[in-house]
Structure 1
Amino acid sequence: MSKREASVSELASPLDMSMAAVVQHIQILEESGLIKTRKVGRVRTCRVEPVALERIETWLLQRRKFWERNLDRLGEFLEKTEKGRK
């Protein structure tokens, strides 16, 4: 789906889920702005919203940097504490 639009049935075919469950997931993704859907006749197609994914990537990178910094500091603290015990 990242390269082109895909129908809901195409997306559902490899999944071990009911069509109703897939549709519910698609509705949540659309409400969150991660995908856009459109209906042509009886077929609903979905496409990824790249800008939304870029925002998520930025947010995740910020969280990653935060945790890496804090875990590095914790590691340094634990090393100093361990050396102080010896």
Structure 2
Amino acid sequence: MSNQQNNSGSRSGINKPTMFGYVVRPIGNSGKSSWSKIAAAWAHKDGQGFDVRMDAVPVDGRLVLRAAAEDDQPLVENDGPAPS
């Protein structure tokens, strides 16, 4: 199946992920955690599943999925200059 069939959104534009996947690791004994974005997921049109692209595989096998917010940055950034 093609990405256009499985991804939600318009065919003419870039489809934004509906969820992002993170590896969550504890930082020492502070009770704080480090979140690293490693995946993006796009909902199927029928709402019964997701297409997931992972840039890494969690060593412990645990992936945390969170709904994408409007201000979430893309998983892969362009090669242009950084915004000032």
Asked whether the two chains share a fold, i.e. TM above 0.5, the reply is no
TM-score (norm 2): 0.21
Higher relative contact order (CA 8 A, sep 6+): 2
Normalized per residue, the structure richer in strand is 2
Greater gyration radius: 1
TM-score by length of 1: 0.20
